[in-house]
Amino acid sequence: MEKSSDLFGLILNSGPSQDTIFLILTKMEEEGRHNEVMQECLKALKNYPDDIRLRNLLVTSYLQTGFAGLAEMEFNKIASGIDKLIPTYKFMADLYVRQQRFKEAGEALNRYIAHYPDDLEALAQLGLTRSIMPTVILIA
Look up the pTM and report it.
Answer: 0.69
What is the C-alpha to C-alpha distance for residues 87 and 115, in angstroms, rounded to an integer?
9
Residues 7-20 have pLDDT tens digits of: 676 667 666 888 98
Residues 112-125 have pLDDT tens digits of: 999 998 988 888 88
CB contact at 8 A, 30 and 57: no
Residues 65-112 have pLDDT tens digits of: 999 999 999 999 999 999 999 999 999 999 999 999 999 999 999 999
What's the pLDDT score for residue 134? 46
Radius of gyration in angstroms for the set of CA atoms belonging to the chain, rounded to a whole number:
21
DSSP string, 39-68: HHHHHHHHH-TT-HHHHHHHHHHHHHTT-H
- For residue 64, pLDDT over 60 is answered with yes
